[in-house]
């Protein structure tokens, strides 16, 4: 006499459910990767709302935190080269080089001023470098707004309380999340090293104090060229 326990059908059903779940997860992962790459290509912040709309949809969770993300490269250092990975969508190589140089300089100024730079002080720096009105063929204010949009800098405006003098409004500039990821402290050390043609012991000591570097790395270890940052990948 044969007894049909139904176990075979149950196993088959479980396998089908597992495969279906894995397939759904794989599709979600692919959508998320495509969205992240598209955002990075155009230097657009990866936002939670965009992930919900483009990838998660019905699987989305309640909003927590700022809802913005930065794509991070996990490639080995030897593969982080502009000859292998070209920069994001750009108008032209010359315009890209100008933009990279300008935002790296501004980020360096902010970091060397303890991570916060007053608006007037930034304008004074730009005036000394003849960049207070234009950056290449673009208005300086337009370039700064683009840097804000791309996440290289953040502009913080503190307005006076109701009834106080409106002239007391203060504007400060801070390092943005994309700059922290793509440039970082080592990128700034490398940038300054390139400008000065190398770092002597005295300059290196001052830079480390300004940038808050407390480890025992020397100039050769810390001063990596800016071209090795993920923006130049």
Q: Return d(Cα 20, Cα 17) in angstroms, integer.
A: 5
Distance of CA 31 to CAs 22, 35, 107, 222, Å? 14, 6, 33, 37
Residue 62 has pLDDT above 90, yes or no: no
Q: Is the pLDDT of residue 178 over 70?
A: yes
Taking alpha carbons only, the member of 171, 182, 170 closest to residue 71 is 182
> Can you tell me the mean pLDDT for 56-78?
66
Instruction: Place domain 93-211 in its CATH homologous superfamily.
Output: MAGE homology domain, winged helix WH2 motif (1.10.10.1210)
Lowest mean pLDDT among 4-13, 44-53, 67-76, 188-197: 4-13
pLDDT at 210: 86
Encoding tokens for residue 224? 């990596």
Query: pLDDT tens digits for 97-156?
Result: 899 999 999 999 999 999 999 999 999 999 999 999 999 889 999 999 999 999 999 999
CB-side neighbour CA atoms (13 Å) of 23: 6
Under the banding of pLDDT at 50, 70 and 90, the label for residue 21 is low
Average pLDDT value for the chain: 78
Which segments of the chain belong to CATH 1.10.10.1210? 93-211
Please give the pLDDT value at position 110: 96
What is the SS3 assignment for 105? helix
Mean pLDDT along residues 159-182? 83
Q: Which residue has the higher pLDDT, 147 or 88?
A: 147
8 A C-beta contact, residue 36 and residue 13: no
State percent of the chain over pLDDT 90: 33
Distances (CA, A) of 106 to 31, 87, 125, 153: 35, 20, 9, 8
How far, in Å, CA of 184 to CA of 107, rounded?
9
């Amino acid at each position: 006499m044969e007894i049909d326990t139904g176990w075979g059908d149950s196993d088959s059903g479980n396998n089908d459910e597992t495969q279906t779940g894995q397939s759904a997860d794989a599709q979600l992962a692919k959508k998320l990767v495509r969205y992240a790459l598209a955002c990075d290509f155009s230097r657009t912040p990866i936002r939670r709302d965009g992930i919900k709309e483009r990838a998660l949809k019905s699987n989305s969770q309640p909003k927590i935190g700022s809802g913005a993300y930065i794509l991070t490269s996990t490639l080995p250092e030897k593969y982080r080269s502009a000859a292998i990975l070209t920069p994001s969508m750009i108008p032209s190589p010359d315009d890209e080089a100008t933009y990279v140089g300008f935002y790296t300089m501004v980020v360096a100024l902010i970091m060397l001023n303890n991570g916060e730079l007053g608006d007037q002080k930034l304008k004074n720096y730009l005036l000394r470098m003849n960049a207070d009105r234009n950056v290449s063929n673009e208005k300086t204010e337009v370039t700064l707004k683009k840097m804000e949009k791309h996440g290289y800098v953040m502009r913080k405006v503190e307005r006076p309380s109701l009834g106080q003098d409106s002239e007391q409004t203060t504007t400060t500039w801070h390092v943005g999340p994309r700059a922290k990821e793509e440039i970082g402290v080592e990128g700034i050390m490398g940038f300054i090293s390139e400008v000065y043609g190398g770092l002597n012991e005295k300059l290196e000591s001052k830079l480390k104090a300004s940038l808050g570097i407390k480890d025992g790395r020397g100039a050769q270890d810390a001063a990596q060229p800016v071209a090795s940052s993920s923006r130049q990948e």
